[in-house]
Amino acid sequence: MVNKATKAYNADMLFTLNLAHALEYRADDVDLTSIDDMPIGAETCFAYTFSYDDVIFRMERGWSGSREPFTAQEKAIVEAGEVLPHRPGHDLLIPTGRYRLLQTIPITDEASLRRTAMPFAGTEASGRLYVRLLKENAFECVMQLFLAI
């Protein structure tokens, strides 16, 4: 939850994530609202570079991609703790590594995303930010922001 007075996040929304396996996506011309029309279990992802220009926080989209829901076979592999085989054509990725993760409700416009990302990026002068949207069920989507640490 955002404290409107300070724009600070409560600790229960911020996590540290050790991503052991890259998350793969196929290139797709999607936007922040595309997840609404996708099947349950689908994902969209966006890679941004960010920087501060004096006092202005800038974000530029590098790529956008999507991934269809896991098949029954893929679910079994994930549940067994094994690495999923590469899906052909899924060449965009969130690489393995350690990330700060903010999980929140989806934001549907770039200006609001920039306002959310700025305090999340903190004092980093520049970097890469991944925005992942997951359709959890017919009525709920979740947004995750990944920042490498």
Give pLDDT tens digits for 104-148: 989 999 999 999 999 888 878 899 999 999 999 988 999 999 999
Domains of the chain listed by start with CATH number = 2-148 (3.20.80)
d(CA 32, CA 22) in angstroms, rounded, equals 21
Residue 54 has pLDDT above 90, yes or no: no
Residue 85 has pLDDT above 70, yes or no: yes
pTM: 0.88
Mean pLDDT over each residue of the chain, to the nearest integer: 89
Give the pLDDT score at 1: 38
Residue 39 has pLDDT above 70, yes or no: yes
Question: Which of 135, 48, 136 is closest to 92 using CA atoms?
Answer: 48
Give the pLDDT score at 122: 83
Residue 2 has pLDDT above 90, yes or no: no
- Pairing status of strand 92-94 against strand 141-148: unpaired
Q: Which amino acid, one-letter code, is at 69?
A: P
Question: Which of 134, 68, 127, 55 is closest to 97 using CA atoms?
Answer: 127
Residue 2 is encoded by which pair of tokens?
A: 């955002």
Residue 96 has pLDDT above 60, yes or no: yes
